[in-house]
Structure 1
Amino acid sequence: MVAAPAVPAARAAAPQRPVPAARLAALFLVVVALILAGGAPAVAAEGKPAVELSLREVAKGTEITVAGTGWRPRTLLTLLVCGQNMIGGTNSCANSDGRAVSTDDTGRFGKQLPVVAPPKPCPCVVAVATVTGDQAQVLAPLTITDHPVAALPSQTGTARLAVLAAARLDGEDGVLTWFGAPPTRTLVVTVGNLGSAPVKDPLFQVGTAHGVFAPVWEERQWRGTIAPGQKARVELDVGLTAGAHGDYAVSLKYGEKVLAVQPWGVDRPYGVTLFWILLCLVIPAAVFRIGMAVVDRVRPRTGAGGRHRGASRIPEAAAAVTAKLPRIPGHPPDRPVRAARPPKRAPGTPAAPAPETTTAALPWFTPENAPGAQTTQTSAPSEKSSTTKGHS
């Protein structure tokens, strides 16, 4: 007998490796190393754009690395060195020495940016802003050692908003609107700040006008800040009264200036018309049915068979049949039936023969065997009477 090879004890009782714990420990060490290094780009909180500079204090002519995270994927960005914390818009930035960069699929980017003297004194910043799509901007503080520093000017300028793109109304009518529900839309317009002061939480006025009438204005506040030289997409809700239809005009006003006017054609609520037509047909029909039911309940009945029409004719037909039957002795006489008058004949016309009358008899009842009927024989048979049964 050949013995089976023995399994090594170490292989048979090998303990499982703590893979999850090892991975957690390695990840913890990597995070600690990144925090101690301090040069890695900051992670955006809750998906917000963030910018990190490789150097925070440099001299003019030095190149720094600008890295960002949390931006929209495949988005074009601009990098500028600006003075006075970019108060006054891009007029305080070195626009000719700026750089452009696109984010990758994860919203990250990295770009070399030369540090040049901005047209305004410091405090200076590196401004990173989107070029297309939704507006997003991040300012990273930067100290330029050989550039003058001055106090920030007071923001006493005026804000001036203007429409940069044609306004439009977004939204569609639903089934309830077809039955008279209030129609609603969203007014979308792109505005830009052409002034020298930022606009924070601007208060717009939205007006709706029907036909040639004056618009009725309602206040709508937009949450956000529009810096000088920047643009923003503004979305405001617009609604009409229930059952509204026809040609309307939606106007947008900021301050005393009307920024945009957008026409709005509202269809007639044909569901309401259909409802009233059906109501005018159903209610009369229901009233008619109820009235007929009441009349059928309160009308007088004739006899036991008065539930059906023509039931009163059944006793008359039965009386006409029983009147022709022979009378039973001891039975009270029935009501005499009046004979019909013969039709009048013209003079000189022979009288028509009287019609033969036949007495209807029940199949189980004949006058000869009626109860109480007596049959009498007038005479006995005579002996002299001959009975011929045939030839002898």
Structure 2
Amino acid sequence: MKGRISALVAVLALVLAPLTAPLAASAWAAGEPAVELSAPQAGTGGSITVTGSGWRPRTLLMILICGQATPSRGVIGGTNSCANADGRAVTTDARGHFGRSLPVAEPPAPCPCVVHVATVTGAAADADAAFQVAGHPVRPLPAESAAGRLSVLTDTRLDGSSGLLTWFGAPPRRTLVFTVGNVGSSPVKDPLFRVGTAHGVFAPQWDEQQWHGTVAPGGKAEIRLPVELTAGAHGDYTVSLEYGGKVLAEQPWGVGRPWGVTVFWVLACLVVPAAVFRVGMAVVDRARPRGAVVRHRGLRLPAVAPRLPKPPAPARTRSTSTTSALPWFTPDTDPGTAAGGRLSAPHEDSPATPTKGNT
């Protein structure tokens, strides 16, 4: 029996899902997100239950207790007036409803206080419910001027891109572009804005910038303000726009890491030691004595010319010069040939050679 009932409930859910989805979408399109509290007042250390309806389905919301705020005027000081460390996140269901327990904490700004609920992703939407933190100081809100008042009409955007110098650590630059409208009864001339940049969960660093121009009552104008970070900045940043003590818009900004700086230091760690080593070796070569044997490139023996013993001089042999024999002498009886190969006169005791006479 229980199995049949559960199956019937599942079938009804599938049949009614297409009908409930348009209802949730229409409630979100009507722009009527609402917030309700289980108690209008509580002390620090306690908790309250926050419920909501009319929100976009499957949307991440942030719940905070903020000071110097009312449901009609909103959070005047922005999230800087809220107890951010004690906030809670919640995701709406398919019908745009949620319920979440919230611990009570004192905000940094005095009351009047509200429980502020705002979207984290997607289209911006927020709602406030009046709440009193027991024992927290109360201070009146600043008087609202009846003069001209500016309101942001369109979503803000950041124009520009990073160049080659930014890749090597130059300060990232963008232009904050938004359109404001004058909802007051008098013109607004040369409005003074505050542009803040926050890194992660840290508080923003504010910079005052004045826009030169006049916005007539009921008129609108496009405003462009420069935004610049410090050199070498990278990570997730949030750009906030404030006017008249109230935060008008916030824009996320993801800044890439300057990898050129990393490449430079890696090359420096490789090139500098090699250059120092070469210079040191050159100094060592110049300071080394010329008779040194050892060099850094290997073992080198001193230049010594080998001296070998001279071979004995060959014995001089007397060469006999052969002289052509005279026609009337034979080679053996040539009177001009001596023992030493030189011609010499005949000795006195040598036998006379007979001469032929006439017979």
Same-fold call, TM cutoff 0.5: no
TM-score by length of 1: 0.41
| Larger RCO, structures 1/2 (Cα 8 Å, 6+ apart) | 2
TM normalised by structure 2 equals: 0.44
